[in-house]
Structures are given as structure tokens and as C-alpha cells.
Amino acid sequence: MFKVKEFKSRLLTIVAFASTILFCSCPNNPPNSNQTNNNQPNSNQVSNVEKKLSDKLNIFNWDGVFAPNTVGDFEKQYNVKVTYDVFASNEELLAKLQGGAKGYDLIFPSDYMIDIMIKQGMLEKIDFANVPNYKNISPKFKNLPFDPQNEYSIPFEYSVVGIAVDTSKVKDFKKSWSLLFDEKYKGRISMLDDSRYGLVAALKVLGYSINTTNETELNAARDLMIKQKKLVRAYSSDTYRDMLKSGEVWIALGYTGDVYQVMKENPNITYFIPEEGSALAVESMCILKGAPNKYTAEFFMNYILEPKVHGTITNSSMYANPNEAAAAFIDAKILNDKAIFIDSTIIDKSQYIQDVGASTSLYDKIWTSIKSK
């Protein structure tokens, strides 16, 4: 996690994918060395592909968004050693890269961060001839505003920010952002540690856009969050999962996939998207500028987009994916869950977090002031 990255077009309607499109390999698809069927390329094609692969690949991703076997299977099939590092927020990703972190090939930023990175010249254009499985991506997830020409990113998963509740401790609650400000739960609430997603609750309660650049509105959100702080046990974008499991917190602002992974272990945990709407996010696969293993990164993208691979990832991570052909491999319970494959009524009330330009520094300043009070 899972783990995002108010578009001019609000026509995006996401429905549960029920596609039964069967996967058909073509000569450029990554070969599966463990298969012996008609879909496997001939030995010359395998040899030609393997000659192009590097012996290593460096990935920088959210924690918990792959299935346990995703990387290991790739390494075994293609003899590529994968180095896998994780980050907890888009801002952490950007800060580490701007701070001099080098050598990464493949990164997984959210929508608004992709926009920022494109503007700063931090991403390579993708050679889509090396990613034929891109055809599996739903048209609803192509030509998105942060990459309108589909040059720098391939959507990997999408999610929405919501609220996790321990129903053994919290009873008869309203499915609203106001729950995060209820003084009855002092010391039992956790909030995401993120200057953009962390402010969503206050902005929605106040009736403002989650992408506002109005300083008066942002200051009002700041004041509300400072008032709320006495109720907050922790600001966390990763350890809140463990706090939910242990019962240390009863209410948590979190990401869909993260919470659903906790729900597997604690049946008392439920998850809802506030009735006022929320923040949507699309995490995508991107290649960092100057990536030392660019072709291998594109090869790995294509591997991820294989329907069974992508479907297996969704079954594990509980994050929805935009791969229509993967629907045949996704558990029906997950595919039909409107909090994962999001209901259109929620979409209509929700917004994507966008790059706010010069106001980014104001968001960061406000978030710092909230945490320092």
C-alpha cells in the first residue's frame, strides 16, 4: 500500500469488472518458462527476449501491494534479481528521489505525483512495443489528465480513502467523516501521515474541494485538524494496520487495500467510504529518468499486466485493478465489493487529488504545523 496518484472530466464511472476476456500471448509478451502450451513463444523468441534482459531490476513501491509470489515468480522465470524498496507516501517518494536516491528503474507514484514528476522531467517515456499487455487496461483508465497522451505511466491499481472501524468497540456510527472528530473516541483514532490525504477529512467536513488552493479554506482545515489532534493516537500511513489489529486504535483513516488486509485477520473491523465522498487515487507504473534497466522495467510491467498475475495481486492486496482481462482471475467476493471496485454513486461525490502547483508548499506547511502543535 495500496498503499490514489476533480479532473475536468467527471465522466469516469468505475464498475466492477466482469470481463471474461481470455488472455492470449503474442510473440512480444513475456514468456512463461513454466508453461508448455501453445501460448508459449518458441525457443528462438525466448532466447531473443532473454538476451535483452538485465540481470537485475530495482523497484520502489508501496508496501503490501504485490502478492507474496509476484516478485519471486518473476525472478525464477527470468533469472532477474529484483531489489524491492518501499515508501509510505508520495511525498516520501519524491523527497528521496530529489534527495539523491539513485538506481531505481520502476516506481509506483499516484496520479498527482505523476503530474509533478512529468513536469520536473523525472520520468522516461515508455516504449509500449515492449508492453503489449497494455491492451488489457480498461479505456476508462487511459488518457487520464495527469498523463493525457499515455506516455509516461501505466495504471496498476486504484483505490479510495475511507475509514476503518472496530465494531466491537464502536457502535451505531454514521458513515460520515464526522466520525473522525467524535470526542467519544479520544485516543483511539489514527490519521494518515500525508499532507494531502491527511487533510481530506477536514476539507470534506467543511465542504471544500480536496484540491483547494484558497488559503482561507486551507487555514480553516488546519484549525479543525489542530482541534482534532487531542483525539488522535497516531499519524501513520503504514503502522496503523498493526494498531487496528491489536486494538490500539478503533477508528482509522486508511486505504482500501490496507484495511481489507487487516479485516482478513480481525473480523470485527469494517470499512466504509464516507457518504460525503472521498479522495480517489490511481497508482501507476512509471520508469524513472535514467533508469539503468529500462527494457527490463518494461518487461516487468508487461508481466504484471498478465491477467492471472494481475488478478492474483488483487486477490492478495485487495486493491482494485484496471485490467479488464484480469477479472476472470479475481475472487467474485472482491470483484463485487463496491468499496473495492467502487460504486458509481461514490465516484460522483469524490475527487482525485491533483497537483496544486505553488500551493503544494502551503499544504506541506499546514501539515507540519498540525503535527507540531
Non-local CB neighbours of 349 within 8 Å, separated by 6+ positions = 275, 276, 277, 278
Is beta strand 123-124 parallel, antiparallel or unpaired with respect to 279-288? Answer: antiparallel
Sign of CA dihedral 178, 182, 186, 188: negative
- Report the distance separating Cα 333 and Cα 364, nearest Å: 39
- In terms of pTM, does the model score above 0.85? no
Q: Where would I find the beta strands (DSSP E) of the chain?
A: 56-62, 81-87, 106-107, 123-124, 154-166, 189-191, 232-235, 251-255, 269-272, 279-288, 351-352
Sign of CA dihedral 344, 139, 319, 119: negative
The string of pLDDT tens digits covering residues 363-373 is: 999 999 999 98
Residue for cell digits 458513515?
175
Determine the average pLDDT of the residues in 159-176: 95
Residue 180, pLDDT above cutoff 80: yes
Determine the average pLDDT of the residues in 73-88: 97
CB-CB neighbours of 264 under 10 Å: 9
Non-local CB neighbours of 219 within 8 Å, separated by 6+ positions = 366
Instruction: Delineate the domains of the chain, giving CATH numbers in brackets.
Output: 43-157+282-319 (3.40.190.10), 159-279+349-372 (3.40.190.10)
333: buried, middle or exposed (CB in 10 Å: 19+, 13-18, 0-12)? exposed
The string of pLDDT tens digits covering residues 278-328 is: 998 899 999 999 999 999 999 999 999 999 999 999 999 999 999 999 999
